[in-house]
Amino acid sequence: MNEFFSAAMRKATQLTREHNLLEATKVIQRALSGQTAPESPAREGGPLLELQAEPAPNPEVHQQAAENAEPNVARKKRPLGEVLENLRKFAHDFPQKLPDNLAAPLAKLRGRSPAVAVPDGASWLMRSFACEAGTRDYKLYIPSRKGEGKRPLIVMLHGCTQNADDFAVGAGMNRLAEEQGCVVAYPNQVIKANHMNCWNWFDPKDQSRDRGEPRIIAGITRAVIAELNIDPGRVYVAGISAGAAMAEVMGVTYPELYAATGVHSGVAYGAATDAASAFAAMSGANQGRARGKGRKAGVRTIIFHGTSDRVVHPSNGEAILDDFRASHAGAETQSDGVAGGRAFKRTVIADSSGVPQVERWAVEGLGHAWSGGSPEGTYTDPQGPDASREMLRFFLNDERPAPRTS
Structure confidence by residue, pLDDT tens digits, 278-329 = 989 999 876 544 444 446 677 999 999 999 999 999 999 999 999 888 887 7
At 101-111, the pLDDT tens digits run: 444 444 444 44
Average pLDDT, the chain: 79
Per-residue pLDDT tens digits of the chain, which is 406 residues long: 345 555 666 676 665 555 455 565 566 656 544 454 433 332 222 222 222 333 434 444 344 444 444 444 344 455 545 544 555 555 444 444 444 444 444 444 444 578 999 999 999 999 999 999 999 999 999 999 876 789 999 999 999 999 999 999 999 999 999 999 999 999 999 999 998 999 999 999 999 999 999 999 999 999 999 999 899 999 999 999 999 999 999 999 999 999 999 999 999 999 999 988 998 999 987 654 444 444 667 799 999 999 999 999 999 999 999 988 888 777 899 999 999 999 999 999 998 888 899 999 999 999 999 999 999 999 999 999 999 999 999 999 854 444 444 4
Q: What is the 3-state secondary structure (H, E, C) of the chain?
A: CCHHHHHHHHHHHHHHHCCCHHHHHHHHHHHHCCCCCCCCCCCCCCHHHHHCCCCCCCHHHHHHHHHHCCCCCCCCCCCHHHHHHHHHHHHHHCCCCCCHHHHHHHHCCCCCCCCCCCCCCCEEEEEEEEECCEEEEEEEEECCCCCCCCEEEEEEECCCCCCHHHHHHHHCHHHHHHHHCCEEEEECCCCCCCCCCCCCCCCHHHCCCCCHHHHHHHHHHHHHHHHCCEEEEEEEEEEECHHHHHHHHHHHHCCCCCCEEEEECCCCCCCCCCHHHHHHHHHCCCHHHHCCCCCCCCCEEEEEEECCCCCCCCHHHHHHHHHHHHHCCCEEEEEEEEECCEEEEEEEEECCCCCEEEEEEEECCCCCCEECCCCCCCCEECCCCCHHHHHHHHHHCCCCCCCCCC
Locate the domains of the chain by residue range.
3-53+65-107, 123-396
Check if the beta carbon of residue 110 is closer than 8 Å to that of residue 91.
yes
Fold that domain 123-396 belongs to in CATH: Rossmann fold (3.40.50)
pTM above 0.85, yes or no: no
Q: In which region does residue 149 sit, left (phi positive, over 0), alpha (psi from -120 to 50) or beta (all else)?
A: left
Span 167-200, pLDDT tens digits: 999 999 999 999 999 999 999 999 999 989 999 9
User: What confidence score (pLDDT) does residue 286 get?
Assistant: 62
- The CA distances from residue 376 to 114, 165, 330, 382, in Å, are 7, 11, 40, 10
